Amino acid sequence: MKKKCFVQIFVPNFFLLLFAISCIVPFLIVVSISITDETIINQFGFSIIPRIISFKSYEMLFAAPKVIVNAYMITIIVTVVGTVLSMFVMIQFAYVLARRSYIFRKQLSFFLYFTMLFNGGLVPWYILITKYLSLKDNLWALILPMLVNAWNVFLLRTFFQGVPVSLIEAAKIDGASEYQVLYKIICPLSTGGIATVCIFTVLVYWNDWYNNMLFINDSRLYSLQYMLYNVMSRVQFLQLANAAGTSTSMQIPQESLRMATCVVAAGPMIMIFPFFQRYFVKGITIGSVKG
């Protein structure tokens, strides 16, 4: 093993640690504010370490969790339905594009690829969905437009092409249908790629607020992210506070309640993500080698 001098160890570790901390600290600050007593915030402003800890804002949130539970339900429904459908559609399409013997393979590849080069822009897309498909205030508006992601389809195709053709041929000779080849042979051999694309897709649906903002007016259909976005503005915040039964003279812990909402909305994803990271890291490194 080569000997390393002090500087060679210290310098990279120093910068990496600095960056790593800067990535974690903002979230810790949000958590810290959410458990700080409101009078302290009014007096001293936000601080990284809470001076006096108070769980009042969480108590308020969980006393009447209707708004948050509802937003969670919407997000979970959209994410689950969206991801399942999306994976189904994309896996099949990617398989077809990966099959060299398919006669329209070239044409369909271009058909998909062209959507990455050119699009109609926001306005025609918006008018199509709201006016012609009448999906305003409909959860399908949050699911359908994002089902096929060209980049992910190509990523899956790259993974599928890695499976030896002889396996497919052998199965075909034994009388397997294309569906059987895909779901019995290709998919079990491409779990890494499928897991990566699956996580990407979950992430996109879970974090979506843009389509909500465009297509949803009914506050009962607000997703988690969009609810959170609205809590930042005052009106929606008061609704949340009122739902928590604070029409009495009790003082609303404004800032800490807001940050507590953020923690409750974003926390679970942050807790879950390290478990998926392994697949993710593998997937994008393989996918990026050949785009």
Partner 1 sequence: MKQERLGGNRFVEQLQLSTMALPAVILILIFSYIPMFGLIIAFKNYKVNLGILGSEFVGLKNFMFFFHSNDAFRIIRNTLCYNAVFITVGVVFSVSFAIMLSTITQKKLIKFYQSSMFLPYFLSWVVVAYMSLCFFNYKDGILNGILKALRQNAVSWYSEPKYWPFILVISYLWKTAGYNVLIYYAAIISIDEVLYEAAYIDGCTKFKSIWHITIPNIRPTVVILVILSIGRIFYADFGLFYQLTQNSGSLYSVTDVVDTYVYRTLRVTGDVGVSAAVGFVQSIVGFALQMTTNFVVGRIDEDYKLI
Name residues contacting partner 1, limited to 186-245 (CB under 8 A). Answer: 203, 206-210, 214, 225-226, 228-229, 232
SS3 19: helix
Q: Identify which of residues 21 and 245 has a Cβ nearer to partner 1 in the complex.
A: 21
Half-sphere exposure of 32 (CA within 13 A, CB side): 15
User: Least CB distance from residue 12 to partner 1, whole Å?
Assistant: 4
Nearest to 213 by CA among 203, 201, 224, 222: 222
CB of 105 to partner 1, least distance (A): 9
Decide if residue 288 touches partner 1 (CB under 8 A): yes
Please report whether residue 166 would count as binding partner 1 according to CB under 8 A. Answer: no
Q: Counting contacts by CB under 8 A, is residue 39 touching partner 1?
A: no
Is the dihedral angle over the CA atoms 265, 269, 271, 272 positive or is it negative?
Answer: positive
Looking at residue 289, what DSSP letter applies? Answer: H
Report d(CA 250, CA 230) in Å as an integer: 23
**Residue 110 lies near partner 1 (rule: CB under 8 A):** yes
**CA–CA dist 124, 219 (Å, integer):** 25
Nearer to partner 1, 17 or 63 (CB): 17
Name 36's bridge partners. Answer: 53
Scan residues 118-137 and list those touching partner 1 (CB under 8 A): 118-128, 131, 133
In sequence order, which residues have a C-beta less than 8 Å from that of residue 71 and are 6 or more positions away?
222, 223, 224, 226, 227, 228, 265
The CB-of-22 to partner 1 minimum distance in angstroms stands at: 7
> Rule CB under 8 A: is residue 171 a binding residue for partner 1?
no
Candidates 56, 68, 83, 99; binder of partner 1 (CB under 8 A) is 99
Tell me phi and psi for residue 102, to 5 degrees: -75, 130
Find the length of the chain.
Answer: 291
* Minimum distance from residue 65 beta carbon to partner 1 (Å): 19
Smallest separation (angstroms) from partner 1 to the CB of 232: 7
**Which window, 50-58, 61-69, 107-115, 156-164, contacts partner 1 (CB under 8 A)?**
107-115
